[in-house]
């Protein structure tokens, strides 16, 4: 995806969250059972503000853990979220994509955060809409890139290899509505993946939208066409700690 495509997706998904009715703020969020909608918005807004803070730091300065901000709570989260989203987008637009900044995986170009925060917002937008029974899908390019991003960044960072019982098991994901195949190998202490068609211990076939939600543990494996050891998919979700 291009820089403009990420920014467009972030505006759209963030805008959808900011447009939430105040009457829905107390609704519980199934995908994040400890939160209601207001708390989900507050969490996402806090992440936005922390990334904004990191992007604006002088080059080479390490961020403080308390450099972000805490949501005010309740109905106040909506206006606060919108203000933070607007500031974040401004920071992303005005920061050189090549500026070295602190990230979850060490110092990376600022473009790393544009990708990460776009997917963070997209998934939580879906969480919010799912709670309200209005869940919309994702563009094919966003979903495809989101699977790559999770396998690149989020899953390896959090994966519990012991819980999975990792010993070289293989997972094949196959999109049925566009280009997209992933072959994942879970070793005893590492996760490797590549694009391409190979026979795995388990294969999951379905729309890109559903494969994206699957790797993010938002839907159960039985929502897809599964061949082989289906338990590996659930174990992958449980071990990913997403």
How would DSSP label each residue in 176-220? Answer: SSSS-EEEEEE-SS-EEEEES----SEEEEE-HHHHHHHHTTSS-
Residue among 4, 114, 2 at smallest CA distance from 55? 114
Element (H, E) at 151: none
Burial class (CB in 10 A: 0-12, 13-18, 19+), 93: exposed
* Structural tokens at position 170: 């293989």
Mean pLDDT by 10 residues, the chain (242 residues): 98 98 97 97 97 95 85 95 98 97 95 98 98 94 98 91 94 95 96 95 97 97 96 96 84
């Amino acid at each position: 995806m291009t820089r403009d495509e990420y920014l467009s997706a972030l505006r759209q998904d963030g805008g959808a969250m900011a447009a939430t009715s105040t009457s829905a703020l107390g609704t519980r969020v199934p995908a994040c059972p400890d939160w209601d909608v207001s708390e989900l918005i507050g969490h996402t807004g806090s992440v936005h503000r922390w990334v904004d803070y990191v992007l604006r730091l002088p080059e080479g300065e390490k961020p403080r853990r308390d450099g972000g901000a805490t949501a005010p709570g309740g109905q106040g989260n909506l206006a606060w979220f919108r203000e933070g989203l607007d500031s974040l987008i401004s920071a992303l637009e005005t920061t050189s994509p090549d500026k070295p900044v602190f990230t979850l995986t060490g110092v990376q170009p600022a473009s790393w955060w544009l990708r990460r925060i776009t997917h963070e917002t997209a998934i939580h937008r879906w969480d919010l809409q799912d709670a309200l029974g209005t869940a919309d899908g994702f563009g094919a390019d966003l979903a495809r890139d989101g699977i790559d991003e999770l396998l690149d960044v989020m899953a390896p960072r959090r994966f519990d290899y012991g819980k999975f019982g990792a010993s070289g098991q293989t997972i094949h994901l196959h999109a049925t509505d566009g280009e997209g195949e992933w072959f994942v190998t879970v070793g005893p202490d590492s996760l490797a993946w590549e694009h391409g068609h190979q026979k795995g211990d388990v294969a999951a076939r379905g729309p890109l939208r559903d494969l994206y939600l699957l790797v993010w543990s938002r839907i159960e494996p039985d929502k897809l066409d599964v061949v082989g050891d289906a338990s590996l998919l659930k174990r992958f979700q449980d071990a990913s700690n997403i």
